[in-house]
A and B are shown apart, each in its own frame.
Chain A
């Protein structure tokens, strides 16, 4: 035992005694760097893995929440969802049906280079390049050719009329954000996704994967006086409840997603202020139209009338939603039909009468798939309880975990499931999922008449006529009930009382909105 390191009981005893001494409590007080006020701390809450910030490749909402602050698009939405100029200061439709965009002059990228038509052509062409395999290729499917007419003019040649074109050129989940050609070619595709260069109000200075991101103001940003804050830190907070704790403890100024359940506590606005508006999303109970008992339209209709959507909104979302009777949300004002259809109204008698017409009776059973996260689990729980209460059916709740649920829905291995879409800005994106041959048609709905109407709505350029077609399509869905539309969730952000200038919009826009925020 004559080794160089001689461990004795005495030395261990000393070590044990030293451990508590080392803990002699640390000096209290916050350091300047973390102090509130100098830096805007805007957290993204919820599970949000981020892979890339290349607009043509990104696909997760969280990725876009960042992208919206780093990049801009030719067009933009205002708060009322009207299309307004963005990087294009004007645009016009030529007699040929082609569209010409005049670019804003003197716009600079984060690397200091000037944005030109070449960058626009490059950015948009990438979406159409099969080698890029962008998930947004279909957004420009009607665009035949993208040409730079001169340094500040870009022309899109269309192969056929395509109504959603302008919405797809806004700064939403579209992939049409304008990137710097030079920076992209210099960095290469993969590295650009980690070091994005755009024209947006903020530039990315730090990205700790799965932890946080840091923005700094784009010094040569083309809008005067924006952005207001020099530095923005974006922590990624996984637990929404932890997000509230962080906000109340003054560790963050903004959390992207306010937990509905807790909102009641902040009504007086002293500790935190809720900023909410109707959102662009649709939540529903997806029914597998190929499986019994959901292959029977009467059964689906009976179910649709057997639960009270408002109760779900009150109890699962604490009032933060609007009743849905079709896919198109109220946020899309021009295409929204405020009259609630018959099948979306809670009517136990009619529901039972409809069930009597069905070939399946009370003893019909099916599993309703959901996962353990707050709102979704409550939604499914209340739906199952109410439907069984009204009809006497034996629907069962099947709680799984999110990844399993999305995989099973994609593979059509489910009876029924609570499900939804978020962040779509054009009615076409909502209607598309019910086309017979659409890959997004997870519920295997098939109705040739619907296909006809939905396609007509896609190519109709006149907005009034297009609205009528959208409404007609919705009425078919109301009759067939391929899914049970339930509610459109609000977009709700929770901020500290000293946060000013945050304009919450239906389409989200997290990163872009931060440009106007100041701290009092």
Chain B
């Protein structure tokens, strides 16, 4: 069953549809919201510092007098793109590793999987933390840390699934037809395993957002004045007793955004072939 079949069936799966709807709404708000907002996300206004939520400022204002909602919207743009880009990089690298490793087998497999094992032996937050200390804070470095954290799991999933399908008749047929290995991997095998990888990517992206916020909490996030979800929350915890709305509302926004992502993942997972799901270990 490939992605196309899943889409046909997904139209009848409420979880996936709910997730998709939620996620599309989140994306739309994040993309178009800033265009509508009358406030500047970085311009400081010291006359309205730490104002509680009101009609003018639904999420209140922060310690620089900036509208928190506007900052959350801009911050979501930054955080989500950084996290998705990081996961995408990890996914591309991991899938490449995994599929090649499974297809070539033996020595390659051993070596590449050892490297993946090494990376996955680190709890992801610990690995990200160490990398941020080594590389220093910044958007690119966060992306790199996220990519490295998720590379091993993508590698393992794609390897196991490729192993499972590479003996199937359609792969052998392609081999007999003299197709190049790269073509077989991309055109024949990848579509089969794509659904599992999409599930994994949606979960990974959700965790990446949480990772980014944890790093920001320790002061290792993306540089201000660029707003990020983690950065806004980290700023908010400094005056949590006095203005709890900054931390609370930003965290709630994250929950809603990630809820969409996770529901999509759940929906697709439910629709997958149980055998493949077992191989993918998701």
Contacts and interface: CB of A to CB of B under 8 A. Distances in A.
Most buried by B among A240, A248, A262, A399: A399
A314 B48 CA distance: 12
A262 B239 contact: yes
Contacts of A372: 137, 218-221, 234
Interface in A280-308: none
A401 B220 contact: yes
Contact of B63 (A315, A385, A397, A400): A315
The interface size bin for chain B is 20 to 34
B45 to A, nearest CB: 10
Contact of A399 (B49, B224, B238): B224
Contacts of B224: 377, 381, 397, 399
Interface in B208-235: 218-221, 223-225, 234
B237 interface: yes
Interface string B98-117: 00000000000000000000
Dominant secondary structure of chain A at its interface with chain B: helix
A264 B65 CA distance: 16
A434 B45 CA distance: 35
A138 interface: no
A244 B220 contact: no
Interface in B31-86: 42, 44, 46, 49-50, 63-65
A261 B63 contact: yes
B183 interface: no
B220 A315 contact: no
A397 B225 contact: yes
B242 interface: yes
Contact of B241 (A265, A371, A377, A378): A265
Contacts of A397: 223-225
A265 B239 CA distance: 9
A315 B221 contact: no
A240 B64 CA distance: 20
Contacts of B239: 259, 261-262
Given A315-B44, A374-B238, A400 B64 contact: no
Contacts of A148: none
Contacts of B133: 401
B241 A244 contact: yes
Contacts of A311: 46
Most buried by A among B50, B64, B136, B224: B224
B219 A315 contact: no
Nearest to A272: B241
B223 A265 contact: no
B218 A262 contact: no
Contact of B225 (A244, A374, A385, A404): A385
A310 to B, nearest CB: 10
A12 to B, nearest CB: 20
Contacts of A382: 44, 64
A385 B137 CA distance: 20
10 contacts: A262-B240, A372-B221, A377-B219, A381-B224, A397-B225, A399-B137, A400-B136, A401-B136, A401-B219, A401-B220
